[in-house]
Structure 1
């Protein structure tokens, strides 16, 4: 007996429309199989977005929505890093799906953080950068984060000390050093983000870093670097010889 029509092909004449599976059913399975066969690096951002949305939004063609999200926010990482309220306002997303995307973002940050905590950061610098980008690159307000290190340069604490506006975060050098002493930290890595996307250090960034170095140094606390995170990359004040 001949097989019936494939799920992704038009039904033969006379076949009731209700008996024909929607075209996206076959598409979902093919995309899952391709992901399994070729791996995530060969999958476009909008396709990865589709895969994430499949279990959240059943019985719907999600390719247009996935492409819309990537076009509106810029990339897969920027979609899941976007504020929950902004995601919920996208037609077809809503509060429930927006919350699930933020859960995915939290999981990504936790995974990146696990590659950093209690490990010597100076020998795993790329993991530090990956974690900082996952945690801060797509925030809409400036955050000032500190990685506190022990004598072996392993991270013993990771804290957001201040959250500011879109272009400024108040930082108090004595509070930074006070917290380092409370944690018995012997070194620091300073990190903050530029919501504008451009990680180029400002004059204020350089001045603030010098103030922290001047307060921390006499107490035996080293400042290894000040990293600025942006959507377009990162900048190291040490690498730029600005500290």
Structure 2
């Protein structure tokens, strides 16, 4: 982190001395600097850069809000409400930030607002709201989100499939988790791990062992993970 901070100090010095920052089309340069300051948690500089920008776009606002969400100490809802323009990234930043910062009900409420406003969520939005459901055992909300996905052409890729499985398992329905597992064509280490964990926490140790054996048979990458389960 110290090296990263040092690099950004140098980058900011170069930026401050560059005449390019005030030219038309320089918004991308400003946004990159704002994102960098967010990564090193320099929210004072983030705010300073944002206020100094000659012209902002939706990406500028998204970067600012993401910075405050990453910090976790400041409620950025007022900033979000004052955005002159929002896109799906704006909404997803709020849902993801709330979910990661432990405000699961706010994440669910924000997702409901997304649908109410007619904005189509992306895969990250869905994964984040399903994570929020799983963390608080919001079974009914999870069921409604699953129905929404089925009705709106979302594919059960490994990210969404794994999030759905996790939600079902944590909300007490391991059989539904297993059905989603079967329908998820692309599976990675996390997908298998969530399903094995789901069987195990519900006392289905035979199924957990069977899936562990199946995972081992998938190749060396799965075998390396399975060593952790056998310790």
TM interval, short-chain normalised: 0.3 to 0.5
Which of the two has higher C-alpha Rg? 1
As a proportion of its length, which structure holds more helix?
Answer: 2
As a proportion of its length, which structure holds more strand?
Answer: 1
Question: Could you state the TM-score of these two structures normalised by the residue count of structure 1?
Answer: 0.33
Q: Which has the higher contact order (CA 8 A, sep 6+)?
A: 1
Question: Could you state the TM-score of these two structures normalised by the residue count of structure 2?
Answer: 0.34
